[in-house]
Amino acid sequence: MFVIIATMPSGPGGAFTNISYVFLDRDGVLNRTLVGAYVTSWEEFEVLPGVEQAIAQLNRSGRKVIVVTNQRGIALGLHSEAQLHALHARLREHLAAHGAHLDAIYYCPHDYGECRCRKPQTGMFEQAFQDFPGALADNSVMVGDSLVDMEAATRLGMRSIFIADPAAPRSDASRASALAKACAASLLDCVGRYLA
């Protein structure tokens, strides 16, 4: 395991000027989280407002857009990896129809404590750093809606932006926002305020 410590500029306005790689959580950032359930098919996948526009803006800026998502539903037998791949293929088609694309999608299919890839562990990021040789914690940002997203970024020394999920426990949201370099209301708000 390797950890790259980033030096973070002070103040949110100048904190994201050198970002080349944008890591996104999926549920709660790209699509609506199902409270008490898992998104297992495209029919259950509700793209959040402004997501297509936000990703297209990131694409036009020349940044790489990479999804890192925990998918415990596979470990629980609620859906298969093949079904997840099919869902992500539909997501890619949907984004392409709006002039947007994802450069990579990494997912963890494991249950708690079974691996080093499930956030807040850093395995998915480390794999991305191998696959994208220019990617480092210092030129990347994690955008997520959960405490584990912010914790993973903190372990890597990566800057992070927290998108508040109204369904999340208040204590987790408070801890997540304290770890984040900045907060936003949505992915579109995040891109407009910090990554434009």
Read off the pTM.
0.91
Helices (H), the chain: 51-60, 72-75, 81-96, 123-131, 147-156, 170-179, 187-194
Catalytic pick among 27, 145, 149, 165: 27
Residue 133 CB partners (closer than 8 Å, separation 6+): none
CB-side neighbour CA atoms (13 Å) of 127? 15
**Beta carbons of 71 and 41 less than 8 angstroms apart:** no
Dist CA 171 CA 154 (whole Å) = 18
Q: DSSP class of residue 17?
A: T
**Residue 184 DSSP one-character state:** E
Q: Active-site residue 131, yes or no? A: no
State yes or no: is 27 an active-site residue: yes
Mean pLDDT of 174-185: 94
Helix (H, G, I), strand (E, B), or coil: what is residue 69? strand
Mean pLDDT of the region 54-68? 98
The rounded distance, in Å, linking the Cα atoms of 186 and 169 is: 18
- Residue recorded with tokens 């990896």: 81
Q: Which pLDDT tens digit goes with each residue over 82-136? A: 999 999 999 999 999 999 999 999 999 999 999 999 999 999 999 999 999 999 9
Q: What percent of the chain has pLDDT over 90?
A: 85
Could you report the per-residue pLDDT of 128-166, keeping only the tens digit for each? 999 999 999 999 999 999 999 999 999 999 999 999 876
What contacts 182, CB < 8 A, 6 or more positions away?
12, 15, 16, 161, 162, 190, 193, 194
Out of 25, 145, 149, 165, which one is annotated catalytic?
25
Q: What domains sit in the chain, N to C, each tagged with a CATH number? A: 18-194 (3.40.50.1000)
**Residue 97, pLDDT score:** 98
